[in-house]
Structure 1
Amino acid sequence: LRFIQATYDVLPSPINLQLWFGKDPSCPLCTVFIVILVTCSCWAAESGIVGGREAKPHSRPYMVSVQYRGVHSCGGILIQRDFVLTAAHCKYTWGSCTVVLGAHDITKKERTQQRIEVDEYFAHPGFTGNLNNDIMLLKLKKNATLNKYVRTIGLPKKNRETPANIKCAVAGWGLTRANGSRSNVLKEATEKMQFSTECKHIWQKHFNSGHMICTKFTRRDGGVCQGDSGGPLICNTKPQGITAFTLAEDCNNPQYPHVYTKVSSFIPWINKGTGFSANCSLS
């Protein structure tokens, strides 16, 4: 993990924005962790699967493990043969990143896996290290070979809204319980879309309904946690969200909705970015 010091006027409870940390002036003894779980030219917030179930091997061929020095850091999705979509806080400053495609058990060298180095990182120009515009494109050094184990996933339409209470799927290789160990195999869980008004009520100024969506869940069913931010929230077969943040010390606390970057709000930027060469600026 990398920690960047910052001071925030936040909720009195420790919110998961684990990348930056600071003290809440209204609570001198409280330290706020803006969870950003990093290990790669990629920072990170959250998104392992607590509870849930092991995914059927290769049932989600668009899933990507973003790795630094062979260690899983963030999740992502393959949207073109040479582009991965993930979270902007998954960008780190030292070393090089590799993406692993076609994986189920990331601790093994499965014959289905493809390992490709990242050539360029294109974080959204509006991302300044806080929670807004937390989205990034990774340009790969070579095209992925598409087959039944490795496939791209289509994106939602621009500004498409997902109704509350719709069931969605999350997946990742992150923590299997709060403060626990990461999963070697891909896990998945089911969460439901939450009303934006409820998200705003809970997360207050940290939630931007124009760029974010959130989900509700139960402790029994589980959901995202620390381990691979940048993983997808799949609703109606489309990635409606990119995992952004949860409650830091108790990611499985159903009183705090899980928050995702709203993909449909960034479709024009994504389309522009994937149409550019690796040497072009996306700002």
Structure 2
Amino acid sequence: MYKVSYVILGLVLCLAFTNDVLGKRHGQAIKKYGGKIVGGYDTTIQDIPYQVYLLLLIGTDYYQCGGSIISSRVVLTAAHCLRGVSRVYVRAGSTEADNGGRMYSTSLYTIHPQYNPTTSDYDVAIVRLLRPMTLDGTSTKTISLPNEGTSVPAGTEILVSGWGDTSENGQTSTDLMAVRIPTVSTEDCRRTYGQNAITERMICAGVPEGGKDSCQGDSGGPAVNTATGLQVGVVSFGQGCARPGIPGVYTNVSSVRAWIKRNAGV
């Protein structure tokens, strides 16, 4: 996971709810946590109403991640997105990263206590909102999670979405994008990343020829089983983006389901 540095200009935090703090027209640029959709397609928030855009304040810099709505007050995302964060801005209900929908602001979040930033194990976190999101069932809607211990067999088609880069070291997208990719076995994934690098808290997905993947700026976003409609993964890390023979790695939601239940109540 790596990030691309930019300069933040002209962001007025006290106007977060009256002005569009994510709007690129205000002159700021966003640093990106690793993992945009590569090889995907344009979509709309009505097709993926559980997706949210996260703008994260760390020091004086801003970073971009994704997340998913699991209750009116809770967003599920990746732990690595929230390390050192002092303020989280959540945009819900918009196809555009920098316009539309509704904005929410909070400083309340919880990172999994066993999260390891070196190995990316237990890469999961929740964001708590101070006021509930308006869930209209059309552009804002909760996503359901699998039961603890639910397996994700190799070949399961997942839908991954976000506003990240459309190519490795490329540019982020202002509009929501998605890609459908199959999961790969843990054994195959370990052959790529190393025997000890892929734990039970991870699942992998990609196509052998490459060209389809999540990428920088998609981190923390949802990976949803297209057959069941359940969110089985959280975008975590990868080597580059959409490289042949190198799948992306996602936090296995079912393996951390009990922790989510305890801390989010869902």
Q: TM-score, normalised by structure 2?
A: 0.81
Q: Residue 59 of structure 1: which of 47, 53, 68 is its match?
A: 47
Maintained 8 Å contact 1:44/1:230: no
Maintained 8 Å contact 2:2/2:216: no
CA distance in 2, matches of 1:74, 1:245: 12
**CA apart distance, 1:228:** 2.3
1:106 corresponds to which letter in structure 2?
A: A
**CA apart distance, 1:85:** 0.4
Count of matched residue pairs: 233
Match of 1:211 in 2: 201
Match of 2:213 in 1: 223
Q: Residue 259 of structure 2: which of 252, 269, 276 is its match?
A: 269
CA deviations on 1:59-112 (whole Å, 9 max, x unpaired) are 11100101136966100100011000000000142541111100101222x2xx
Are 1:237 and 2:229 matched, yes or no? yes
Identity level (%)? 29
1:264 corresponds to which letter in structure 2?
A: S
2:76 aligned counterpart, secondary structure:
strand
CA distance in 1, matches of 2:209, 2:185: 19
Match of 1:141 in 2: 130
Maintained 8 Å contact 1:190/1:221: no
Instruction: Give runs of aligned pairs for residues 138-177 of structure 1, distance below 5 A.
Output: 138-147=127-136, 148-177=138-167
Runs of 5+ in structure 1 lacking a partner?
Answer: 1-16, 20-38, 277-283
Distance 1:225 1:242, change over 3 A: same
2:54 corresponds to which letter in structure 1?
A: V
Runs of 5+ in structure 2 lacking a partner?
Answer: 4-29
Maintained 8 Å contact 2:209/2:245: no
More divergent stretch after superposition (135-144 vs 124-133):
124-133
Match of 1:132 in 2: 121
CA distance in 2, matches of 1:94, 1:258: 25
Q: TM-score, normalised by structure 1?
A: 0.77
Maintained 8 Å contact 1:100/1:114: yes
Distance 1:50 1:170, change over 3 A: same
- Structure number with the higher strand fraction is 1
